[in-house]
Every structure is written in C-alpha cells, then in structure tokens.
Amino acid sequence: MMRSDPPVHTPLQKVRSDIVELYFRMRNAIFLMLVVTMTPASSQRVLHFSATSGFDHGTRAVSFAMFTGIGSELGSEVINDPLGATFSDPTALAEFDVVVFSNTSGNNILDAEQRANFEQWVQSGGSILGIHAATDTYRHSTANGNNTGTWDFYAELIGASVQEGPNHVNGTPQYAMSHIGIHPSTAALPDPWVKSEEYYYWEGGYFRNDNIPVLEVEQTIGPNGQVNSYDEPRPMSWYRELPDDGRAFYTALGHAPSNFTDDPLFRQHLKDALLWLIDASTSIKPQPTHDMVPIIWPNPAQDHLFFHSPVTGQIRIIDARGSTVIANVNMTGLIDVSNLAEGIYYARNELRRLNGTFIIQR
C-alpha cells in the first residue's frame, strides 16, 4: 500500500484553516465584553476656555453655567477663563485636570509661550474636552481653506479640523445619530438620537484615523441641496486615550446656545464625557455580550480576517471617517483587508443593529 505525502498548505490556506477551527471552537462559547463602570471623582479641577479669533457662537456664558452645574454634581470645581490667561502660567495650568475648549475658534487665541505651556501640560497627563468649533480652532496644515498650520499639535490632539467650503450642513436640520461601540458618554443617550444640529464635514479637512467614534450621524444633505461625498455618515463624537495618560474627547455638537440651556441629552452627553475624562478609578467587569456583536479574528489584523455576523442583511465596513470601504460583506467568511490603511474600522449593517470594531495594524 502506497503512502501519500501530506498536503502542502499555502500560508493563506493555513490562515483560513486556523481561523475556521477557531470559529467552530468559539461558536457555542459565551462571549464577554468590558463594560466601564464609573463613579464620580472628587477634588478635580476643570478649566473652561472659550476664546475666539474666528466665528463667535455666543455660547460662553451658557456653556460655563452648564459646566458649573455639572461640576457641582460631580464634585469638581470649574473655573472660567474666557481669554486664556491661565495658559501663561505653567504652575496655574498644572492645577487643572481637564481643559474644556468650548466653541473656541480661529488661530490667534494663544501666543507661542501659552501654546508651549499647554503642550507640556498635555504631556504631563492633562485631558481635553472639545466642543463644536474646537475643530475650527488652529486648523491642521493638511486641511483645506484658511487659518491652517499655525499649531498642528492642537489639531492632532483634538482629532480633526472641520473642512471649509462648505464647513457644515445648511442651518440646523434634524438628523439621527447612532451609537458606535460602547462608551460612558453615550450610555444614557437614546439610539438613535434624533437631534437638530449644524452637522460638520470632515472630508476636505483633517481627521485622525485613530479617533474612536461613539456617535455617527446618518447621511445628510448638503447646502447645495444634494447628497455629496462629504455628506456620507460620519462621526460626531469621539475619544482617544493619550500616550501620556491623559484623555481626549470631542463632540461636533453644540452650535446653538440652546444646546447648553434646553437640551438635557446634550448636557448628559457632556456630563458623562467629562466624568470619563476626570475619573481616575474606572472599574471593569465582564458581562455577557449582546447577540449583535460579531466574531472578528485576528484583531488587530494585517491582510485577512475572519468575520461572522449573527445579524442577517447587508453588512458594510466603514472607516473612522464614516466612509464605506467595503460595501458587501458575507455573514461568515474570510475578508481581504490588505488594501485598507492602518487604523480603526467598524462593521455595520443597514439596520444599524450590528456593532463590531477591529484594527488594521502592520
């Protein structure tokens, strides 16, 4: 009886085999996810900064009043600095845990020394919260339009610079925003959250690929009355963990003064975002996952990944900007991601009942 040689597998065949084997081992397992449970932190100081050298939204007073109330509820002190005097003194700046850039604008609100002091503060573990026009502040050198390149450190910290021509939708129309992933800032918000807002555009501006979105607005209609490429679904709130132990959170919401006085959901979003920024003792506990979480392996991935969705219907892969990069994904199978750039991606279906996150890292 002749013996046959064992089959020779190519590297891709070996990856397919390993992934399929892993899937069947995991199919009947109980999946766990990390849920962050936060408790109010005491003795934290927050600097409320609202200087402008560009468009002035007229929200200084109402924004400070809202954050003063939030600070009282969280046991944190909120100090108002409408002009930036605190940035001139590194010792004074070091007394704050979070700086809120509330509808700041333009590229001439801090001098070179003040900017250097702020950079040092961030590198010492400081955290930042940006609201709406904070991305129309010190616009990045790679963004289109005016007032770019003065201070790229800031734009890269906040995570984006709004595009120009047009900057946003016309007026403050009502659209639905959906949750992406799980984050304390959206835990108390409806999904979807329908809100009237001046929704920003990112396509021609600057946008970091490693921002982690938590809210995404649906497709909008541009000021020209058409659906343009920049009107595609896109992030409206996101966060990042900073390399020096600080955190960054930004929301593009907050155009009208009424957001700060008459919108309890906006206030809740900002309150929970601020709590996430200042809380130093997050506790993590495992809980059973929702049945709408897909299997994605390996994660991070390089060129191929195995994907299994418990949800039927058309599934698409979107990047951190909210643009679709793969339009049709099978419910179960191997996906070629070799053409995708490094960064964070999301698996969604047309009913927005599926939330899966993965990273491309090479």
Q: Are residues 273 and 316 in the same domain?
A: no
Q: 191-208 pLDDT, tens per residue?
A: 999 999 999 999 999 999
Q: Are residues 211 and 254 in the same domain?
A: yes
Residue 58 has what pLDDT?
97
Helix (H) or strand (E) holding 16: helix 11-26
The answer to whether residue 353 is domain-embedded is yes
Q: Which residue has the higher pLDDT, 103 or 182?
A: 103
How confident is the model over 141-157, as a mean pLDDT? 95
Tokens of 77: 């002190």
Tokens of 254: 């907050």
The answer to whether residue 37 is domain-embedded is no
Q: Are residues 216 and 237 in the same domain?
A: yes
> Rounded CA gap, 276 and 39, in Å?
9
Q: Are residues 181 and 78 in the same domain?
A: yes
Q: Are residues 226 and 258 in the same domain?
A: yes
Q: Are residues 205 and 75 in the same domain?
A: yes
Long-range contacts of 296-299 (CB under 8 A, 24+ apart): 296/347, 296/356, 296/357, 296/358, 297/19, 297/22, 297/23, 299/358, 299/359
The CATH code of the domain that includes 304 is 2.60.40
Domain stops at, among 284, 302, 330: 284
Domain stops at, among 284, 303, 323: 284
Reduced to 3 states (helix: H, G, I; strand: E, B; else coil), residue 191 is: coil
> Rounded CA gap, 19 and 333, in Å?
9
Residue 171 has pLDDT above 80, yes or no: yes
Q: What is the CA radius of gyration of the chain?
A: 22
Domain stops at, among 234, 262, 284: 284
Q: Are residues 277 and 297 in the same domain?
A: no
Residue 54 has pLDDT above 50, yes or no: yes
The answer to whether residue 2 is domain-embedded is no
Tokens of 344: 């964070």
Number of domains, the chain: 2
Which spans in the chain are helix H? 11-26, 60-74, 90-93, 112-123, 152-158, 258-262, 264-278
Residues 6+ apart with CB under 8 A from 19: 297, 305, 306, 334
Q: Are residues 113 and 239 in the same domain?
A: yes
Q: Which letter does DSSP use for residue 257 in this model?
A: T
Identify whether the C-beta of residue 325 lies closer than 8 Å to the C-beta of residue 318.
Answer: yes
The answer to whether residue 4 is domain-embedded is no
Residue 247 has pLDDT above 90, yes or no: yes
- Residue 38's Cα: distance from chain center in Å? 19
Q: Which residue has the higher pLDDT, 41 or 179?
A: 179
Give the residue numbers spanning the domain of 26.
Answer: 11-31+289-360
Q: Are residues 306 and 348 in the same domain?
A: yes
Question: What does the CA dihedral 148, 150, 156, 158 come to, rounded to 10 degrees?
Answer: -90
Q: Are residues 107 and 145 in the same domain?
A: yes
Tokens of 212: 């982690």
Instruction: Classify burial at 162, counting beta carbons within 10 Å of its beta carbon; exposed 0-12, middle 13-18, buried 19 or more.
Output: buried
pTM above 0.75, yes or no: no
Instruction: Classify burial at 155, counting beta carbons within 10 Å of its beta carbon; exposed 0-12, middle 13-18, buried 19 or more.
Output: buried
Tokens of 221: 């209609």
- Residue 133's Cα: distance from chain center in Å? 15
Q: How many CA atoms lie within 13 A of 120 on its CB side?
A: 14
Question: What does the CA dihedral 234, 186, 248, 149 come to, rounded to 10 degrees?
Answer: 20
> Rounded CA gap, 209 and 204, in Å?
14
Reduced to 3 states (helix: H, G, I; strand: E, B; else coil), residue 8 is: coil
Tell me the pLDDT of the chain averaged across its residues.
Answer: 85
Residue 35 has what pLDDT?
37
Of 103-112, 174-183, 289-298, 335-344, where does the model show the most confidence? Answer: 103-112
How confident is the model over 183-195, as a mean pLDDT? 93
Closest CA to 258 of 106, 161, 132: 132
> Rounded CA gap, 127 and 46, in Å?
10
The answer to whether residue 193 is domain-embedded is yes
The answer to whether residue 203 is domain-embedded is yes
pLDDT band at 287 (very low <50, low <70, confident <90, very high): very low
Residue 308 has pLDDT above 60, yes or no: yes
The CATH code of the domain that includes 209 is 3.40.50.880
Q: 218-239 pLDDT, tens per residue?
A: 999 999 999 999 999 999 999 9
> Rounded CA gap, 45 and 43, in Å?
7
Q: Are residues 126 and 248 in the same domain?
A: yes
Q: Are residues 139 and 174 in the same domain?
A: yes
Reduced to 3 states (helix: H, G, I; strand: E, B; else coil), residue 286 is: strand
